[in-house]
């Protein structure tokens, strides 16, 4: 009996700031000689599918909603990330999370294709797999912040920051990218 993984249905969940929603389906090929193992595997997949990995600036992640000294104690990292990603009435959108989401989708797809069978065989827990993939996905966000082709900073911003690089001022937003494996949110 072979368990095949279809992870082609990855997509951004709502807006990409909220993470990636993985849809993993299993098909069985071959003779069903061991129905108990199949039932056990199915129950494990159903139970394990109740978790998700949120990458970026997840709500309730350690201190991300607290005003930061780097932003004159007036804004949290989450607020600054949202303003940068979606823009404001004064600044253009620089959708770094959308850019990262595409790369994260591929990362999760490859990771689950490789590690999914280990989960099914009981050799790995989905929480641990998502934790490892979450660490790698953090790098996707940092890379998007640094490498994206964003609208240039306004002249007054360049003068204040002493840098032309959009999305990077103090480095706080880039350095505070994180992930959490948690119960799936609706």
Residue carrying the six token digits 């129905």: 35
Give DSSP secondary structure letters for 25-54: EEEEES----HHHHHHHHHHHHHHTTEEEE
Decide: residue 134, CB within 10 A, 0-12 exposed, 13-18 middle, 19+ buried.
Answer: buried
What pLDDT score was predicted for residue 74?
Answer: 77
Q: How many domains does the chain have?
A: 1
Segments of the chain assigned E as strands: 2-6, 11-12, 20-21, 25-29, 51-56, 178-183
95 in Cβ contact with 17 (< 8 Å)? no
In which band, very low, low, confident or very high, does the pLDDT at 42 lie, cut at 50, 70 and 90? low
Q: Mean of the pLDDT values across residues 139-162?
A: 89
pLDDT tens digit sequence for 83-132: 999 999 988 999 999 999 989 988 988 888 888 788 878 898 888 888 99
pLDDT tens digit sequence for 1-22: 333 333 333 333 443 333 444 4
Residue 66: which domain range?
Answer: 2-183
Q: Is the entire prediction scored with pTM above 0.85?
A: no
């Amino acid at each position: 009996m072979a368990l095949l993984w279809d992870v082609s249905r990855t997509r951004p969940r709502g807006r990409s700031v909220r993470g990636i929603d993985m849809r993993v389906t299993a098909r069985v090929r071959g003779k069903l000689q061991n129905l108990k193992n199949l039932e056990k595997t199915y129950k494990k997949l159903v139970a394990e599918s109740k978790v998700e990995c949120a990458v970026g600036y997840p709500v309730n992640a350690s201190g991300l909603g607290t005003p930061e000294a780097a932003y004159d104690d007036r804004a949290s990292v989450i607020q600054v990330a949202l303003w940068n990603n979606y823009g404001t009435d004064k600044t253009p959108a620089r959708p770094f999370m959308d850019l990262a989401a595409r790369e994260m989708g591929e990362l999760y797809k490859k990771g689950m294709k490789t590690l999914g069978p280990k989960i099914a065989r009981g050799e790995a827990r989905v929480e641990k797999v998502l934790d490892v993939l979450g660490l790698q996905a953090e790098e996707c966000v940092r890379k998007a912040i640094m490498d994206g082709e964003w609208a240039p900073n306004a002249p007054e911003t360049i003068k204040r920051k002493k840098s032309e690089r959009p999305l990077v001022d103090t480095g706080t937003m880039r350095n505070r990218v994180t992930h959490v494996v948690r119960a799936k949110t609706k």
